[in-house]
């Protein structure tokens, strides 16, 4: 037997089991599958339009993006939410929809990508899905006037699936 060839390839990603809200429209295909492993930072802040109330607010992610063979292929960070390939190409995007995940996990998400900056893997990407989420939810620690401005970092993992229009690749 030679190396990893034959029989060990994972089947292509299927969104059939995902909630409709976070499915990529027809006419697109998967161009890259990654696993993001990292941390999300939250900060205790006053709730908008709710005097005297506080909440853990999402500050931003910091994760390594790996391929299915666990090789680092890029990173994900923010704000603004930015997916960057090792080849230097990167993109940002706008959240289109979210759907609940299992309890204790950040929601599934569909993002409409902005045009990529730089030449490389991120060129032509139109959508990014966040699926198979693990962890990442806001801390359970108290968030009140005494905790105002404190930051908490939580671990998370999620699959990021990158899509492009079929005609693009």
* Upper half-sphere CA count for residue 38 (Cβ side, 13 Å): 21
Query: What is the model's pTM?
Result: 0.88
Q: Which residues of the chain have pLDDT under 50?
A: 1-8, 169
The rounded distance, in Å, linking the Cα atoms of 119 and 153 is: 33
pLDDT score of 40: 97
The rounded distance, in Å, linking the Cα atoms of 95 and 39 is: 19
Residues sharing a CB contact under 8 Å with residue 89, sequence separation 6 or more, in sequence order: 116, 117, 118, 119, 120, 121, 122, 123
pLDDT score of 51: 84
Task: Quote the tokens at residue 164.
Answer: 């492009």
Task: Quote the tokens at residue 49.
Answer: 């339009």
pLDDT score of 50: 86
- E strands, the chain, are 28-46, 54-66, 72-77, 82-85, 90-99, 108-113, 127-135, 151-165
Q: Are 129 and 98 spatial neighbours (Cβ–Cβ below 8 Å)?
A: no
pLDDT score of 168: 53
The rounded distance, in Å, linking the Cα atoms of 88 and 118 is: 6
């Amino acid at each position: 037997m030679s190396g990893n060839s034959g029989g060990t390839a994972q089947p292509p990603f299927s969104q059939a089991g995902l909630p409709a809200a976070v499915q990529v429209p027809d006419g697109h295909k998967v161009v890259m599958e990654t696993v993001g492993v990292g941390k999300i930072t939250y900060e205790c802040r006053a709730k908008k339009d709710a005097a005297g109330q506080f909440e853990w607010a999402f500050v931003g992610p910091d994760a390594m993006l790996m391929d299915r063979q666990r090789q680092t292929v890029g990173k994900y960070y923010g704000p603004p939410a930015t997916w960057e390939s090792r080849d230097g190409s990167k993109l940002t995007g706008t959240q289109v929809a979210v759907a609940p995940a299992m309890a204790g996990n950040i929601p599934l998400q569909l993002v409409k990508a902005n045009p990529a900056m730089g030449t490389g893997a991120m060129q032509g990407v139109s959508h990014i899905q966040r699926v198979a989420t693990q962890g990442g939810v806001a801390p359970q620690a108290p968030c009140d006037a005494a905790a105002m401005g404190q930051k908490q970092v939580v671990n998370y993992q999620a699959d990021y699936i990158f899509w492009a229009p079929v005609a693009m690749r």
